Structure 1
Amino acid sequence: MDKNNISTYAVKHISISINKPADEVYSYASNPENWPAWTDFIQSVVKENSTWFAVSDLGRIKVEFVPDNNFGIIDHWVTLTDGTTVYNPMRVIENNQGSEFVFTLFRMPYMTEEAFEQDATAVMNDLKTLKKIQEKEC
């Protein structure tokens, strides 16, 4: 591999503390059927065979997840209507008796700085909604 040709995307790690145990937050957030409740971008989800699809602001998208795990990892790949696939790392981490929810947002090459900031704001708003839902259930 030629190290001179390696490039990375700009990235933002967007996180929020949630006053609920990490395993409970993971259980809720990793279930795609709950996504419309806390993710403004997603209106509905459906599972066809073993594949998840969502109706989103960008149309019908395919969402593929890492397997359920004990590490709080909710990474997923979103395939957009134009065939572009975007990797979305998400983690639920223990934070004392509560949790920290972390979303890693990559700035894709086609994104302007303004669009990247708008995406970051949208993710933070979603995480605030997740926090509100989770803490209300305590």
Structure 2
Amino acid sequence: MTLFETRSITVSIARPAAEVYAFAHRPESFPKWADGLGAGLTRDGDRWIAQGPDGDVHVRFSPENAYGVLDHWVTLPDRTELSIPLRVVANGDGAEVTLTLFRVPGMDDATFQRDQGMVARDLAALKALLER
């Protein structure tokens, strides 16, 4: 059995969970807050295409649901698929948004730290956008 090292990055948002989910589940919203996924995000049938540092990446998003699941899967130019679990859960009158970051094989410490920072910045941008 293979288990990858993970980091869960969470932000609290002072808006109802249903409102956070209603905004964040739409792929069209991602360019407004997710720099890592938003560059040139365009629709291609059921998938989306974003411009990655090594070329175009294909993105699939989980269907709209009542559970706060915003999971998405990114297929890199080399055909490696990355699973990105993302959740919105109620916290009183507000919401917690959590992304689980997997450390993929071959990822060095510096890259894993960099990716954690990128996710934290994206979630902070989502918070700022929704708390205006």
TM-score normalised by L of structure 2: 0.94
Q: Find the counterpart in structure 1 of residue 118 from structure 2.
A: 122
**Distance in 1, Cα, partners of 2:128 & 2:65:** 24
> Can you give the 5+ residue segments of structure 1 that lack an aligned partner in the other structure?
1-5
Q: Find the counterpart in structure 2 of residue 95 from structure 1.
A: 91
Partner of 1:68, secondary structure, is coil
* Cα deviation, residue 44, structure 1: 2.2
**Distance in 2, Cα, partners of 1:34 & 1:58:** 23
Q: Find the counterpart in structure 2 of residue 39 from structure 1.
A: 34
> Cα–Cα, structure 1 residues 112 and 56, in superposed 2: closer, same or farther, change >3 Å?
same
Q: Find the counterpart in structure 2 of residue 75 from structure 1.
A: 71
- 1:1-138 aligned within 5 A: 6-41=1-36, 42-136=38-132
Q: Which letter maps to 1:55? A: Q
Q: Between the two proteins, what is the percent identity of the paired residues? A: 38
TM-score normalised by L of structure 1: 0.90
Structure 1 vs Structure 2 CA RMSD: 1.1
* Cα deviation, residue 112, structure 1: 0.4
**Distance in 1, Cα, partners of 2:45 & 2:79:** 20
**Distance in 2, Cα, partners of 1:20 & 1:56:** 31
Name the larger-Rg structure: 1
Cα deviations by residue, 1:32-91 (Å, 9 ceiling, x for unpaired)? 111111011221211122221122344311111221100000111100111110000000
Contact map agreement 1:90 1:104 (CA 8 A) in 2 = yes
The runs of at least 4 consecutive aligned structure 1 residues that moved more than 3 Å come to none
Q: Find the counterpart in structure 2 of residue 3 from structure 1.
A: none
* Cα deviation, residue 125, structure 1: 0.5
Q: Which letter maps to 1:36? A: P
